[in-house]
Amino acid sequence: MSVPFTRHRRLRQSAAIRSMVRETVLNPADFIQPIYVTFGTGVKQEISSMPGVYRFSLDQLEEELKEISELGIPAVLLFGIPETKDSLGTSAFVDDGIVQEATRLIKSRYPELLVVADTCLCEFTDHGHCGMVHMHEHDGEVCGEVLNDESLEVLVRTAVSQAKAGADIIAPSNMMDGFVQAIRQGLDQEGFSHIPIMSYSVKYASAFYGPFREAANSAPQFGDRKSYQMDPANAREALREAESDVLEGADMLMVKPSLSYLDVMRTIKDQFDLPLVAYNVSGEYTMVKAAALQGWIDEKAMVLEILTSMKRAGADMIITYSAKDAARWLKQ
């Protein structure tokens, strides 16, 4: 007598059947496209470690915005490279800052395109850290300590200035304790209670950020960010971080990076009833792009598989440098 078995292959017989039973579906509406903006004119500068990704001056943004909009990508994430930096990150919150000017331009030309403003200080401080720094001497050496509470005031000023410029969503990425509560209160007090916060709730001290630091010119000038970004070995800590942000008023939670933290994403999704954002970061993008340029992999197949894995793990939105390519491939 033969042993009965289930014929799972019946539902894989053709592309049409596979499409009908597919559990996880990607759509261009899932994506958020990062954009790097800088001062000057005539600037469209490719980032050497991120082929296909550029820094744009404001006069060169039109073509990029038009393409993003026509592909059905609903949102952009803005990063700014300022003209000048100082220890306080002053250019992060001035009315004529690069992110503020870019926001006004985008909303005037493409009002339906959502502007997500990254709210951090690392691009704007001369020391490259995400908060205020106290320099002191220890054992004869000059050391720097990133100050938590003193940083919150500057982050609030930055978030409010971004909201005043027209940002649709504030996305604080600094990982200071209490940053969501401080920014929520600051926005509410200035009449921006309707502006949601997309919190970088679970942000690891990751080696996958390397290309971004070239793109944004934001590498720390001393030490590292391990005192405020999370240890990659920790998963339970992610729950504590996310829970704090939920209680403090976050509207969306994020896990960054995503590809190496799919388990964390799934846990966060199961635990909290808020939209979840995956950040497919620069190093993840660059690994695939570099291999594709060598002809070693099928870039389209690999990118779509990676993005599908993030959505399968629970992501409602995906920030990715592959957004435009993926949107084109999905329309084919």
CATH number at residue 320: 3.20.20.70
120 is in an annotated binding site: yes
In-domain check, residue 12: no
Judging by DSSP bridges, how do beta strands 169-172 and 141-147 pair with one another?
unpaired
Which residues are within 8 A (CB) of 130 and not within 5 positions of it... i.e. 6 or more apart? Answer: 120, 121, 122, 146, 151, 173, 174, 175, 176, 225, 228
Asked whether residue 202 is domain-assigned, the answer is yes
Do the annotations mark residue 87 as ligand-binding? no
Known binding residue 67? Answer is: no
Which residues on adjacent β-strands are paired with residue 54?
Answer: 46
From CA 147, how far away is CA 157, in angstroms rounded?
16
| 213 belongs to an annotated ligand binding site | yes
Q: Which helix (H) or strand (E) holds 284?
A: helix 282-293
Q: Is residue 322 one of the residues assigned to a domain?
A: yes
Whether residue 266 is contained in a domain is answered as: yes
240 annotated to a ligand binding site: no
Evaluate whether residue 4 is within a structural domain: no
The 10 Å Cβ neighbour count of residue 249 is 16
Catalytic residues: 203, 256
In a domain, 22, yes or no: no
Nearest 5°: phi and psi at 80? -115, 140
How far apart (Å, rounded) are the C-alpha atoms in residues 214 and 47? Answer: 8
The response to whether 204 counts as a known ligand-binding position is no
In a domain, 11, yes or no: no
How does pLDDT run along the chain (332 residues), one tens digit per residue?
Answer: 577 889 999 999 999 999 999 999 999 999 999 999 999 999 999 999 999 999 999 999 999 999 999 999 999 999 999 888 888 888 899 999 999 999 999 999 999 999 999 998 888 887 777 777 766 666 656 567 788 898 999 999 999 999 999 999 999 988 889 999 999 999 999 999 999 999 999 999 999 998 877 776 667 666 667 778 899 999 999 999 999 999 999 999 999 999 999 999 999 999 999 999 999 999 999 999 999 999 999 999 999 999 999 999 999 999 999 999 999 999 98
How many separate domains does the chain show?
Answer: 1
Contact (CB, 8 A) for 51 and 289: yes
Q: Is residue 201 part of a domain?
A: yes
Total-model pTM? 0.93
| Residue showing tokens 């001035």 | 94
Q: How crowded is residue 60: how many other Cβ atoms within 10 Å of its Cβ?
A: 18
Long-range contacts, stretch 131-140, CB < 8 angstroms, 24+ apart: 131/155, 131/174, 131/176, 131/228, 132/87, 132/88, 133/87
Q: List the domain range (segments joined by +) for residue 85.
A: 27-331
